[in-house]
A and B are shown apart, each in its own frame.
Chain A
Amino acid sequence: MSGLEELGAGFLAAAVRVATPLLLAATGETVTERAGVINLGIEGMMLAGALAAALGASAAGPWTGMLAGLAAGTALALLFAAVVVGARGDQIITGTAVTLAAVGLTGMIYRQAYGTAGAGLDLPTLAALPIPGLRRIPVIGPAFFDQPAPTYLAILALPVVWWALFRTRAGLRLRATGESESMARAAGVRTDVVRAGATLIGGAFAGLAGATLVLAQVGTFAEKMTAGRGFVAIAIVVLGRWHPAGVGLAALLFGAATALQFLFQTLGWELPYQLFLMLPYALTLLALAGLVGRVRPPAGLAKD
């Protein structure tokens, strides 16, 4: 492999790695927002998923951890759905509240389970699962086909969600609910069930995303470790224009912006590392501004 090729492969692999949890969370949020619900609580659901995954994995292995993460995300989504769909509470504030609740609860449980030292947790993690043949493709191979299982899950989820949203009756009902709840209801759709279901799916994905962060990337849990990734996932949904294909690209773009840090380090360019911490957020803002007039959210988003 030439030096340049190696550099490109490393960069792309890092981008995909960073993008994986974001992609999972954003895919779930796409489903939720298509049903007309914006869930700012996925930040908290990711965090809950991360802690549950750590607890589950240290008890019974990484796959139990993934399931525990999924369950924790779904449980918090149930709370969100009860307030937003059941009681018709404001979505933005409820989402903020759910995130705050998750910060408090994970802090409490984490301290009790692992003590104050904590950080040195030794969790069983998910190793890379190279796909024979495909992984030998230059540059693309190591980036997309030599990753832990959750990356494949995230990529496969995109066509599945696309098909479910745009090619099935349930998907049609879900999108109709998101465009105009009253019209959908008039057409016989049980819109409350649809919105609650879409919220739970979003929560399950967010929980998986948090679990991925712990079990396929960091290998440990820390307080507030999601550090705004859930909020970034919401921006990614907008960037991806509420479409699975766009969301996939937007997540990769965000991953690439973060991975620039590793690239610059390898190249030996000295820039303050905080610049790279800012870059993905700043870039997302720029990209959102660049979409002027060219995106249209589900018409019923965040209504009631």
Chain B
Amino acid sequence: MPRRAWGIAAAALGLGLAVLAAGLTLAGYDAGAALTALWSGAFGSWYAFTSTTLVRAVPLILIGLGIALGFRAGVFNIGAEGQFYAGAIAATWVGLHVAALPAAVAIPAVWCAALLAGALWVAVPVGLRMRYGVLEVISTLLLNFVAEALVSYVVQGPLQERQGIYPQSDPIALSARLPVVPGTRLHAGLFLALGCAGVLWYLFARTRWGFMLRAVGAGARAAEVSGRIDSRRVTAQALLASGAIAGLAGGVEVSGVSYALYQNLSPGYGFTAIAVALLARLHPVGVVGAGLLFGALEAGAGAMQRDAGVPAVAVSVVEAVVLIVVVVAAAGVRRPGALHAPGFRRRAA
């Protein structure tokens, strides 16, 4: 990232924390105690760092990569939360049926199912946009609520645990669970997230497809006319890939952390990841860094609620401030095409 981007990122985060502290003080909390709890929850010990910060960072990095990919092509995927749940449902279903298989087969099967489910879930908005011109901002957003209701249904219906008492699934097969670093809860999904970041960096920087993605994001019409790029196709691919990655994140969460499906599996990862992608300026390596930061914030939020009585949702104030600072900074200089959906301007509905 160029130096200016670092400056903006630091300013955004600093201002976000300052606003959080001010808000907490005004609302009558002990802001000092809250921020101390936040810090120690995120970085206070080796266990806290590995088992909460890094564990929380994994889905944020993955989903953030997907959102960055979409934004690069100028599509707004605000439905990552729903795609995450679609992936989690599929992963759980497969995970319950692979007890007889070795881990080397079971884990990839679970991940593939999650990837496919995420892509299928976003295929609806893709189809609606391609065929009917329905804006993906609205359709992906609406499907989040459908996905949440679907999770609520399957954990009280087809996937409910055997005794039929709790609204959650049975634990998935041992062979479908990811290996963890001994003594911590950190699972192998971190390597997958880092690997995905590497692949996307290569795709963006070194391939024709990555170039087409950026060209369409910068201006679909220009890309069509001067580059002979099929912008509809590239847009559809970007949205599908974006959803697939969010679905994969759901599968990784089930196979690495929860081992089961239940409601509220995601504390809003799909939305936090928007802040992750934008703070990183849609750069894959930046997404890893921003994902770690927001992972720390989410981890600290839990500690803040436990130790200082401040509701964990308070940290979404920090996310909001970061988004606003980044947006204002982007508008101030020049507008990176990626922050603007060309489709949005020409949309039909």
**Contact residues of A with B, CB < 8 Å?**
40, 83, 87-90, 92-94, 96-98, 100-101, 103-105, 107-112, 223-224, 227-228, 231-232, 234-235, 238, 272, 274-275, 277-278, 281-282, 284-285, 288-289, 291-293, 295-297, 302-303
Contacts and interface: CB of A to CB of B under 8 A. Distances in A.
A16 B326 CA distance: 41
Contacts of B317: 100-101, 104-105, 108
B49 interface: no
B313 A295 contact: no
B137 to A, nearest CB: 6
A107 B304 CA distance: 13
B96 to A, nearest CB: 20
B313 A103 contact: yes
Given A107-B314, A288-B128, A275 B143 contact: no
A90 B134 contact: no
Nearest to A223: B313
A272 B154 CA distance: 10
B311 A107 contact: yes
B145 A94 contact: no
21 contacts: A89-B324, A89-B330, A90-B327, A93-B339, A96-B271, A100-B316, A100-B323, A103-B313, A104-B20, A108-B311, A110-B311, A228-B142, A232-B142, A234-B138, A238-B138, A277-B152, A278-B150, A285-B128, A285-B134, A288-B134, A289-B134
B164 interface: no
Interface of B: 20, 23-24, 27-29, 76, 78, 124, 128, 131-135, 137-139, 141-146, 148-150, 152-153, 156-157, 271, 274-275, 278, 309-321, 323-324, 326-328, 330-332, 339-341, 344-345, 347-349
Contacts of A292: 131-133, 348-349
Closest 5 CB pairs of A and B: A101-B320, A107-B313, A104-B317, A97-B323, A274-B153
Most buried by B among A93, A232, A291: A93
Given A97-B320, A288-B139, A293-B133, A302 B344 contact: yes
Given A92-B137, A228-B142, 11 more contacts: A92-B76, A94-B323, A100-B317, A104-B23, A104-B319, A224-B313, A228-B145, A274-B153, A277-B148, A281-B143, A292-B131
B141 A231 contact: yes
Most buried by A among B23, B131, B152, B349: B349
Contacts of B78: 92, 96
Contact of B331 (A89, A103, A284, A285): A89
A259 to B, nearest CB: 17
Given A302-B345, A303-B345, A108 B314 contact: yes
The dominant DSSP class at the A interface is helix
Contacts, number: 166
Nearest to A40: B137
B13 to A, nearest CB: 14
Given A111-B311, A112-B27, A277-B152, A97 B324 contact: yes
A285 B139 contact: yes
Contacts of B141: 228, 231
A113 B43 CA distance: 30
Contacts of B327: 83, 87, 89-90, 93-94, 97
B328 A83 contact: yes
A291 B135 CA distance: 12
Given A93-B323, A103-B316, A109 B349 contact: no
A87 B146 contact: no
Contacts of A100: 271, 275, 316-317, 319-320, 323
Contact of A104 (B135, B156, B274, B320): B320
Contacts of B128: 285, 288-289
Nearest to B315: A104
B328 A275 contact: no
Contacts of A103: 313, 316
Given A278-B145, A285-B139, A94 B324 contact: yes
Contacts of B315: 104
Nearest to A96: B274
